[in-house]
A and B are shown apart, each in its own frame.
Chain A
Amino acid sequence: MKDFFRVAWLVVRKDLMVEARSLEVVSTTLFFALTVVLVFAFGLVREGTPVGDVSAAILWIATAFSGTLALGRTFERERQADTLRALMLAPADRPAIYAGKLAGMLLLMALVEMVLVPLVGLLFQAPILGHPVHLAALLLAGTTGFAAVGTLFAAMLVRARSRDVMLPILLYPITVPVMIAGVRGTAALFQGTPDEALARFWIALLVFFDVVFVTLALWTFEPVMTE
């Protein structure tokens, strides 16, 4: 188990070092996420007031779309010099490589969300500071579920010619329950009278999805990558 975490940490640290040098994934993902929110703001905010209760949905749409972009770019980097194969060759637990890539994705998406959440709060007058712990838990659990499936599929498709088309086609249908839970839970916090109990229910459901998705991904990563 100690070796599992050592390898996962090596992969995360390497990913962070590479990203710190290039800033390629962070800059494109952040720019894309901001653009999505701004476009929605131009369409759905009239004289400083949002049309309807849309902030939760926009936050999760921006997270999902920018997350898909980040997944594609992160694994494109591993594809260019075929380094994912080099990682698979190492005498390490192959699921640990998956865990490292997943942790790197989570850190990246957390960074994007740190910018997205205040922006959505500002543009759509969402009460993001009303229940910060619940909101953070929703984002963490929802992002984990999304990234768990996305990391597996992006790794699986890394050598496929149509990977850019296939990733969203495979990813979105499977992560729809995560998105629905994330949107409903966040909407429960952003509504006029916040419903903490309902938010907690959606957080619990997201944690359940996370356990299922991460377990399945760890279990299937090696056979999927070598078949």
Chain B
Amino acid sequence: MIDDFARLSVSSLSRHYGRRKALSRVTFTCDAGDIVGLLGPNGAGKSTLLAILGTLLAPSEGTVEYGTVTAEKGGAGLRARIGMLGHDLFLYPELTAFENLVFFGRMYGLRDAPARATAALDRAGLGERAHDHVSGYSRGMRQRVALERALLHGPRLLLLDEPFTGLDQASAAALVARLREEQARGVLIVLATHDLDVVDGLLTRELFLRNGRLMSVGTGEGPLRDRYHAAIMAS
């Protein structure tokens, strides 16, 4: 098991697919308690960056350091400190919400996986439907289960890919509130989103990406939509 970390340092990170550059020399750092937004149009490299941060993809060049360790050195111990919510939610529709959480809890080596799963589903307001198959859930309910799955093992780094997609206003507000709770606990959150209005005021730092390049870094001053247009559209 590796030591906990409080800083994520990304240095000159590039990822190529053949001759196509999905990411090109991206550099930034963030600390525990930060909520970092990856903002940019489709194909900007947001999901590729999340996959590299989640150790699912090796970079072509550059390094990612989680505290003082790299993904290569950190291995399974590092992955135990990372939680990820993908755009496709990472849930088995044939299993119940409870079975999904218990399965992934056990994959993370949690001895008390059933108790944690029950508590997580209660927190998500799905306690009464814990034993329903996920295939019967609405998108919003599945999103809530998926978030609990990503948080079940108490990660230090939480990676979210389009977490607000398909959520109504109330569900989006609940998710924002949940992210603020995790932020207060010192979780480092990196999220990719197109929902600028929802995350305006939530992010402590914005990374504006286009064509795999980091165009600019914002620090939360002024309306987000204006800054997005200034960084992405005007450049």
Q: Which residue numbers of A lie inside 8 Å of B, CB to CB?
A: 3, 7, 10, 14, 17-18, 21-22, 80-83, 85-93, 226-227
Contact = CB atoms under 8 A, between A and B. Distances in A.
B95 A91 contact: no
Interface of B: 51, 54-58, 76-80, 82, 84, 86-95, 99, 103-104, 106-109, 133, 149
A37 B95 CA distance: 34
B104 to A, nearest CB: 7
Main secondary structure of the interface of B (DSSP, over half): loop
B90 A82 contact: yes
B106 A10 contact: yes
> DSSP majority for the A interface?
helix
Contacts of A22: 94
A21 B100 CA distance: 14
A90 B99 CA distance: 16
B132 to A, nearest CB: 13
Contacts of A227: 57-58
B55 A86 contact: no
A127 B106 CA distance: 46
A86 B86 contact: yes
A80 B92 CA distance: 9
Contact of B84 (A14, A89, A92): A89
Given A81-B90, A82-B89, A82-B90, A17 B56 contact: no
Contact of A91 (B51, B54, B79, B90): B79
B104 A17 contact: no
A89 B76 contact: no
Given A10-B107, A92-B76, A226 B90 contact: no
